[in-house]
């Protein structure tokens, strides 16, 4: 069964600190993996997208890694800001008809001052 598991479920950090969010998946055949940021009451916004051959991708203070062998990905946030408070969703695309997206439940990050 195609699944995406994220950890931790929630996280509280102080402004300026770094943090790392984890994503494990059992999706086959694998097409790509995306990290999205979803602010409360808003739609998801894409942060990074990685295919099978890519093992790291950066977008400003966000750096995603992918280990296709162990089927694990991480999202590292550097020098966190209050505006980073949001839900971060890992989404894996399966190579099949319709290009199905399998969503993780997300990690809720709260950055406090």
> Rounded CA gap, 13 and 4, in Å?
24
Q: Which is nearer to another protein, 29 or 41 (CB)?
A: 41
Q: Which is nearer to another protein, 60 or 98 (CB)?
A: 98
Q: For 82, phi and psi rounded to 5 degrees?
A: -55, -35
Contact between 32 and another protein by CB under 8 A: the answer reads yes
Q: Report in angstroms how near the CB of residue 16 gets to another protein at its nearest.
A: 27
Binders in 63-92 for another protein, by CB under 8 A: 89
In contact, 83 and 68? CB cutoff 8 Å: no
């Amino acid at each position: 069964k195609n699944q995406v598991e994220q950890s931790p479920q929630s996280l509280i950090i102080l402004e300026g600190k770094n943090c790392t969010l984890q994503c494990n998946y059992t999706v086959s055949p694998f097409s790509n993996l995306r990290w999205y940021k979803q602010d409360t009451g808003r739609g998801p916004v894409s942060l990074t997208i990685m295919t099978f051959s890519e093992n790291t991708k950066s977008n400003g203070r966000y750096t995603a890694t992918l280990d296709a062998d162990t089927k694990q990905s991480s999202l590292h946030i550097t020098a966190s800001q209050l505006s980073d408070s949001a839900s971060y969703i890992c989404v894996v695309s399966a190579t099949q008809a319709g290009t199905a997206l399998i969503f993780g439940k997300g990690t809720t990050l709260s950055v406090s001052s």
